Amino acid sequence: MTVHLRAALYLRVSTARQAEHDVSIPDQKRQGEAYCEARGYQLVETYVEPGASATNDRRPEFQRMIEAGTSRPAPFDVVVVHSFSRFFRDAFDMEFYVRKLAKNGVKLLSITQEIGDDPVHQMMRQIMALFDEYQSKENAKHVMRALKENARQGFWNGSLPPIGYRVVAAEQRGAKTKKKLEIDPLHAETVRLICGLALHGDGVKGQMGVKNIVSHLNRNRIFTRDGGRRGIGQVHRILTRRTYVGEHEFNKRSKSKALKPVSEIVVVPMPPIIDRETFDAVQALLKARHPTVTPPALISGPTLLTGLIHCAKCGGAMTIRTGKGGRYRYYACSPNASRSPKARFRSWDRSPGCCRRWWREVA
């Protein structure tokens, strides 16, 4: 009796633009189906990942495939890809997932890079993965160099524009349309309003902090351009973004959100929405209100000292605690207060003096 291996196809392209124009996906599918038919594999599932990078595992269809391939029993015996780079472009992560599938009896097969199971072929696969990773990083460098040059020339690189701006065609270069940003009158007024609320208030209240501005906007139904409610992070970004004084900073942060060196940042000239004097006044106000400069007055809390006192031994913040069923309250070092009572007392025994002094407050 012939046993047919069950196969799953994994198809991927890197960008949404490729997916929209059906680049590569139909060809990968055609070759994958022919590969399975030629070898007598039973095709049981096809996972399609349109517009996702293979440098990480943040891919819904990839994760769905891995979850199925590591379940017991697995619904398929092999995963078929066009090339190993479709599966992963990171050598370490690729090996991690290949071994994870292999532990459950599922094998990864490449249509264009057929290799065996012996140690030499495993080493070849790992070397291919290293080259794929290197090529991916080199491609990223070339793409970023082109994007930075595009930004230096004052053109927009295609992401969602900041609130208050809209994308317009600037000039035609061959088949490519170069784009720039222009002021969107409707949403530009919202940006000016937010800065005005921060500096002058709404005529009833004085200067507003970020939370009060958010409440004012949502209360008055001044929603986002998508019709959603405003959030604290969004309003804070509007108040601190240099784009609104005509200096958009491109390539400011890495994928991990870390700030890049100043030499890597390209300043793109933009039509300003607010003047520099207003922007500088808002920055000075935000800086003066920062908790590290002016501690918040927690007048609505159970104690005015919350956030102001710290443990003399470990430096942890002192937080309010209760005892005897709430009959009295005291301050405790938060790192130790969050532990179980037994662990807490063991900690005090090892560190005499830390958290032994508890300040009582009359209930």
- Predicted confidence band of residue 149 (pLDDT cuts 50, 70, 90): very high
- What is the model's pLDDT at position 119? 86
Three-point CA angle 207, 211, 217, nearest 5°: 85
- What is the model's pLDDT at position 346? 45
Is the per-residue pLDDT at 300 higher than 90? Answer: no
- Predicted confidence band of residue 350 (pLDDT cuts 50, 70, 90): very low
- Predicted confidence band of residue 23 (pLDDT cuts 50, 70, 90): low
Which domains are seen in the chain, by residue range? 6-137 (3.40.50.1390), 183-289 (3.90.1750.20), 295-363 (no CATH)
C-alpha 232/C-alpha 208 separation (Å) is: 13
Percent of the chain with pLDDT over 90: 51
Is the per-residue pLDDT at 182 higher than 80? Answer: yes
- Predicted confidence band of residue 256 (pLDDT cuts 50, 70, 90): confident
Phi, psi for 160 (deg, rounded to 5): -65, 125
Between residues 200 and 4, the one the model is more confident about: 200
- What is the model's pLDDT at position 347? 43
Between residues 153 and 305, the one the model is more confident about: 153
- What is the model's pLDDT at position 187? 92
- What is the model's pLDDT at position 360? 42
Mean pLDDT of 200-207: 86
- Predicted confidence band of residue 1 (pLDDT cuts 50, 70, 90): very low
Percent of the chain with pLDDT over 70: 83
Q: Which of 139-143, 226-230, 279-283, 308-312 has the highest mean pLDDT?
A: 279-283
- Predicted confidence band of residue 16 (pLDDT cuts 50, 70, 90): low
Cα end-to-end span (Å), the chain: 82
pLDDT, tens only, 59-107 = 999 999 999 999 999 999 999 999 999 999 999 999 999 999 999 999 9
- What is the model's pLDDT at position 204? 84
Query: Dihedral of CA 230/233/235/237: which sign?
Result: negative
Question: For residue 260, what are the contacts with CB-CB under 8 A and spacing of at least 6?
Answer: 251, 252, 253, 254
What is the average pLDDT score of the chain?
Answer: 84
- What is the model's pLDDT at position 284? 93
Q: Which of 4-13, 283-292, 295-304, 309-318 has the highest mean pLDDT?
A: 4-13
Helix (H, G, I), strand (E, B) or coil at 2: coil
pLDDT, tens only, 31-59 = 999 999 999 999 999 999 988 888 889 99
- What is the model's pLDDT at position 355? 46
Residue 43: strand pairing partners: 7
C-alpha 330/C-alpha 363 separation (Å) is: 9
* DSSP secondary structure string for all residues of 96-140: HHHHHHHTTT-EEEESSS---SSHHHHHHHHHHHHHHHHHHHHHH
- What is the model's pLDDT at position 296? 54
- What is the model's pLDDT at position 83? 92
Helix 185-200 / helix 276-289 crossing angle, nearest 10 deg:
50
Give the residue among 215, 260, 214 at the shortest CA–CA distance from 236. 214
Mean pLDDT of 8-15: 90
